[in-house]
Amino acid sequence: MSGIQRGKEVTRRIAIYGKGGIGKSTISSNLSAALSERGVKVLQIGCDPKHDSTRLLTGEERCRTVLEYMKDVPPNERELGDLVLRGFGNTLCVEAGGPEPGVGCAGRGIITAFDLLRDLGIDSIDHDLVLYDVLGDVVCGGFAVPIRDGYADTIYVVTSGEYMSIYAANNILRGVSNYNPDRIGGIIFNSRGDDYEKARVEAFSEAVNIPIVARIERSNLFLSAEKESKTVVEKYPDTGLADSFRELANIVIEGKKHRARFLTETELEMTVLGMSRGHHADYERKERIKASSKPRVYASKSVKEKTILHGCAFSGAVNTCLSVEGLCTLMHSTRNCSQFAFQLTANSVKRAYRTNMLPCDAALVPDAICTRLDEGSMIFGGNDKLRDCLQDAVDSGRKHIAVITSCAPGIIGDDVRGIVDQFKRTYPDVKIAFLEEDGNLNGDHMQGLIDACKGIVREFAVKDLPKQDCISMVGIKPMANNMISNIKRIEDILGRAGITVRCNIMGDCSVEDIERMTESRLSFLVTEDQFAREQRSLLKDEYGMEFSDNPIGVGMRSTESWMKDIAKVFGKEKEIESALKEFREEYKKRIEHLLPYFEGKTVYVASLSRNVGWVSEIIDDLKMIPVRKTIMLRADRTYDDHAKGSDDYEITSTEDVESIVADVNAKRPDFLFSMYAMDVDESIRQFKIPIVTEIGPYGATDMIERFIRECRRPKTEGWKKDVL
């Protein structure tokens, strides 16, 4: 037999592709039957979720699908014999299977099924030819597996004369051309009885220069044979229809191949439907229908500027939710994604504890649940696991839940929103915030922080509560080491005037705080950056909350500004002025202590943030001499485009870090103030401008005092001298 050789080294592998419902399975089964008559040992693998490819070969007995087997049987109990049935002519039959319609990912299922068959030793069984019967409407990576190198060496395309069938055939040729294009066995014309279809298929065949290798006529013999779960070759072996498959079997055995060529959509319509180029030109000139839409608002700078994403939106949303006391964080994700996000929060708690002995209480023992998606979930969908976890959370008495999606649910199309809405209707006393992050598909870590803050507020906050003598702080960074210490500083300052903090959005707060946040008579940004401004816009526009024009920033001047706003709104002028007087006196003492170290010294400022008003203030108060003050605009770092205090800074987007380093070395200042350590001359002392500063009147002096202690350390570590 030319083209077919015994032994495992030269096993032929062919794939039958075509549009769904075009008759691939019928053709594949009859072809396998015809090949078996020639003594070819055929292994037919059905790659359609309907798992009906081999039913005409196996009769009444159906193959157990690979994916259902994988789902039900533990790995250590799996055997290949459970999946392979012998059919007509000793053909070997396997069905990959797939998920229920509308859930999961059938393409991923094909990949997993092939992997399991390989691991169970499918290649070791005695066969001469593998026939893959594959759905051709969807040419995603999963269904494209049989046309990749290493699987099918020859691809046959089944089509009728209907336009959409030929359209699918053209797409299959396009898919083959993305791999090794010289593997097309030919076109199998499965007639539907249309008077004009022969001309259409022949025109397509001529246009792509691929021959029609078989013409299967429409016949009632197919229906008659299928009623008995048999092929035509078995039921009616002496008919011309059976001979058509024997002739196709001879062509397959011969194994002649052609190069894949495909048509553009315009060429396809002109070839098959006879449309002119003028028709397409007229269509392009028609006025397009315009529809109003509300696209998702991306607030993260990295997303807006299309730069490298730092972390994923899933982890950012998880970190935010875990910092809220009384909130159950339900992570619809794999275990490793949940562990990664959980560990980020745990690390921030540890850093905060080491730095200030003040970790976030809610994050110390977080209330978190993971749906534990796995390989099976990627195939069959994770809806059931989400329902089970939500039901467990509700049954355990949890009243406030945040559901956050990782990449997997977004890829496989889980109906998370529908499930959440169903639970809301069933349990109206349970509030569920749905955060559709889909891992990093919706942005980076910062985007997740922003989305979580907005989503939690929208779900839990109560509008239009009576105003109380309290404030809310907006723009809290939940992973900052100094989050709790910053909050306590402000609480101590406000306590002097008898004013409380209602809510820290979104930091060391409870669900109850969020519910009652609209009681705040006045709200403040803790820093004027994009993260805080996004939240302010939401709270002003949708909840009518009043905001001070002055953020709770760093240093004495900032403190005076926002405290004077407190005095006006709350009628606390006397108390506020008394507190400010005390702060000014203490601030003056601290500056006097620091002056000997800095007065008259030169300083170079290279910031990635525009929130530098406090930097200028401390430089002026310490009587330092700036040699250059610059802000380097980088899309992945500069989040606060409109911050106050940067008017006297040089804004540069043309210089890279290396040129800044060279400039610093050339100017040789005594000090370099920058957000990240730079490789400059070791004689230049570097002060790190923190990403999250320490707010309050003494924030800048506290940071400078720590800097002095660092400066007193030797420039070169002594232990290095002991190393040979």
HEC sequence for 412-460: HCCCHHHHHHHHHHHCCCCEEEEECCCCCCCCCHHHHHHHHHHHHHHHH
**CB count in 10 Å sphere of residue 279:** 14
In this structure, the answer to whether residues 542 and 590 fall within a common structural domain is no
Q: In this structure, is residue 117 part of a structural domain?
A: yes
Give catalytic residues, as residue numbers: 19, 24, 50, 137
In this structure, the answer to whether residues 266 and 308 fall within a common structural domain is no
In this structure, the answer to whether residues 143 and 257 fall within a common structural domain is yes
Q: What is the DSSP string of 281-347?
A: HHHHHSPPP-----------HHHHTT----S-HHHHHHHHHHTEET-EEEEESBHHHHHHHHHHHHH
CA atoms within 13 A on the CB side of 660: 27
Q: In this structure, is residue 298 part of a structural domain?
A: no
Q: In this structure, is residue 212 part of a structural domain?
A: yes
Which sign does the torsion angle of CA 539, 542, 543, 546 carry?
positive
In this structure, the answer to whether residues 134 and 210 fall within a common structural domain is yes
In this structure, the answer to whether residues 151 and 250 fall within a common structural domain is yes
Q: In this structure, is residue 573 part of a structural domain?
A: no
Cβ 174 vs Cβ 32: under 8 Å: no
In this structure, the answer to whether residues 170 and 123 fall within a common structural domain is yes
What is the per-residue pLDDT for 290? 58
What is the per-residue pLDDT for 3? 42
Q: Tell me which residue of 371, 293, 287 sits closest to 336, measured CA to CA.
A: 371
Q: What residues of the chain score a pLDDT lower than 70?
A: 1-10, 138-139, 149-150, 275-302, 304-305, 308, 351-363, 634-646, 654, 713-724
Q: Is 692 helix (H, G, I), strand (E, B) or coil?
A: coil
Q: In CATH, what number is assigned to the domain containing residue 684?
A: 3.40.50
Domain count, the chain: 3
Domain range spanning residue 672? Answer: 584-711
Cβ 499 vs Cβ 552: under 8 Å: no
Q: Which of 494, 523, 547 is the last residue of a domain?
A: 547
Q: In CATH, what number is assigned to the domain containing residue 307?
A: 3.40.50.1980
Q: In this structure, is residue 717 part of a structural domain?
A: no
In this structure, the answer to whether residues 536 and 663 fall within a common structural domain is no
Q: In this structure, is residue 723 part of a structural domain?
A: no
Strand duo 468-474 + 500-505: pairing = parallel
Q: In this structure, is residue 506 part of a structural domain?
A: yes
CA dist 475 → 483, 499, 506 (Å): 11, 20, 7
pTM for this model (two decimals): 0.79
Cβ 327 vs Cβ 509: under 8 Å: no
In this structure, the answer to whether residues 405 and 522 fall within a common structural domain is yes
Q: Which of 547, 568, 601 is the last residue of a domain?
A: 547
> At residue 603, what are phi and psi to the nearest 5 degrees?
-140, 140
Residue 493 CA to chain centroid, in angstroms?
42
Paired with 86 in beta bridges are 92
What is the per-residue pLDDT for 404? 96
Question: Greatest CA separation found in the chain?
Answer: 109
In this structure, the answer to whether residues 633 and 507 fall within a common structural domain is no
Residue 83 CA to chain centroid, in angstroms?
35
In this structure, the answer to whether residues 620 and 699 fall within a common structural domain is yes
In this structure, the answer to whether residues 465 and 588 fall within a common structural domain is no
Cβ 176 vs Cβ 240: under 8 Å: no
CA dist 226 → 26, 29, 96, 221, 238 (Å): 9, 11, 21, 8, 17
What is the per-residue pLDDT for 294? 58
In this structure, the answer to whether residues 351 and 265 fall within a common structural domain is no
Q: Is 264 helix (H, G, I), strand (E, B) or coil?
A: coil
Q: In this structure, is residue 125 part of a structural domain?
A: yes
Q: What is the DSSP string of 81-142?
A: GGT-EE-GGG-EEEE---PPTTSS-HHHHHHHHHHHHHHTTGGGS--SEEEEEEE-S--STT
Residue 208 CA to chain centroid, in angstroms?
39
SS3 content of the chain, % helix, strand, coil (to 5): 45, 15, 40
What is the per-residue pLDDT for 1? 38
Helices (H), 496-570: 511-515, 530-543, 556-570
Q: Is 703 helix (H, G, I), strand (E, B) or coil?
A: helix
Q: In CATH, what number is assigned to the domain containing residue 268?
A: 3.40.50.300
Cβ 7 vs Cβ 34: under 8 Å: no
Count, residues in the chain: 724
